[in-house]
Amino acid sequence: SIASADMDLNQMEAFLTAQTKKQGGITSDQAAVIAKFWKNHRTSIHESLINQSRWDNVLKNMNWRVDLKSQLRHIDQINTPVAIVEMEVGKNGQ
């Protein structure tokens, strides 16, 4: 729960306090160990969860532009903006 919510230190302390008060919950010593572990490894745990939840493809490059039509058969379509987007995707880590 702590990792999936990416809790800050205050949220984690409140969560662990609630867990120690819950019947069949954790002890205060266990809460202290969990808190110390989370404080020391929060960044690496968060990055690991992000890497596990990513798709295989990632966005490598993106180009875009907006064109205005200057000649058309019907006058009401002139100066209509058109967005052109080019995205390059590739495998994660390549």
**What digits encode the pLDDT tens for the residues 34-53?**
999 999 999 999 888 887 77
Decide: 46 and 3 in contact? Cβ < 8 Å: yes
Looking at the domain assignment, is residue 4 inside a domain? Answer: no
Beta-carbon contacts of 90 under 8 Å, excluding residues fewer than 6 positions away, are 57, 58, 60
> What is the C-alpha to C-alpha distance for residues 68 and 91, in angstroms, rounded to an integer?
34
**Same-domain pairing of 36 and 65:** no
At which residue do the structure tokens 């994660």 appear? 92
pLDDT tens digits for 54-87? 777 778 889 999 987 777 677 766 777 888 999 9
Domains identified in the chain, total number: 2
Beta-bridge partner residues of 62: 87
Judge if pTM exceeds 0.75.
Answer: no
Residues spanned by the domain of 79:
58-90
Q: What is the CA radius of gyration of the chain?
A: 25
Q: Same domain, yes or no, for 64 and 28?
A: no
Kindly state whether residues 49 and 63 are assigned to the same domain: no
Four-CA torsion 46, 51, 54, 57, nearest 10 degrees? 150
